[in-house]
């Protein structure tokens, strides 16, 4: 009889643990989605500005910290090195929350199926998101 009671208790404990884990994951996912609102329009605006040749407007979508470390000329050289005009399609990955920042991997796809992956790091500045870092990833 004691063995049956122990099994039932163990099963209930396992079920409770799985339920708690599911609840934690759900709350974390909802919090991430709510906090990441506004990032996709920012990315669209950034690439629209770059495509239209308004580099200064794209540069102003970055944080003050980014602009202190990367000047306008370096930003232009960086964008030129990416050869963004080759890419026609943009796919956004799943956002990751890390130390109050949101990191999002963007995949740009060319007509010949070449891919360019970029990690964008975003910081919230005065209730709006700004780009804090752009890092090309090797595929």
Dump pLDDT digits (tens) for 12-51.
777 788 888 888 777 766 766 666 567 888 899 999 999 8
CA distance 19 to 82: 45
pLDDT digits (tens, 9 = 90+) for 113-128: 889 999 999 998 888 8
Domain locations in the chain? 37-137
DSSP 61-87: TB-HHHHHHS-HHHHHHHHHHHTGGGE
Q: Are 89 and 109 in contact (CB under 8 A)?
A: yes
pLDDT-derived band at 132, boundaries 50, 70, 90? very high
Radius of gyration of the chain from Cα atoms?
22
Indicate the average pLDDT of the chain.
84
Look up the CATH number of domain 37-137. 3.10.450.630
Taking the CB of residue 122, how many other CB atoms lie within 10 A of it?
Answer: 21
Q: 6 is written with which tokens?
A: 């122990």
- Backbone φ, ψ for residue 90 (5° rounding): -125, 130
């Amino acid at each position: 009889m004691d063995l049956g009671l122990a099994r039932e208790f163990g099963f209930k404990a396992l079920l409770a643990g799985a339920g708690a884990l599911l609840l934690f994951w759900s709350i974390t996912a909802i919090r991430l989605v709510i906090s990441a609102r506004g990032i996709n329009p920012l990315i669209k605006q950034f690439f629209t500005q770059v495509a239209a040749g308004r580099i200064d407007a794209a540069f102003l979508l970055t944080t003050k910290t980014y602009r202190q470390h990367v000047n306008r000329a370096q930003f232009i050289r960086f964008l030129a090195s990416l050869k963004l005009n080759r890419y026609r399609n943009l796919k956004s990955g799943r956002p990751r929350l890390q130390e109050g920042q949101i990191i999002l991997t963007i995949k740009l796809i060319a007509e010949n199926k070449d891919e360019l992956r970029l990690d964008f790091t975003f910081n919230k500045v005065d209730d709006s998101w700004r780009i804090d870092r752009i890092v090309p990833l090797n595929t």
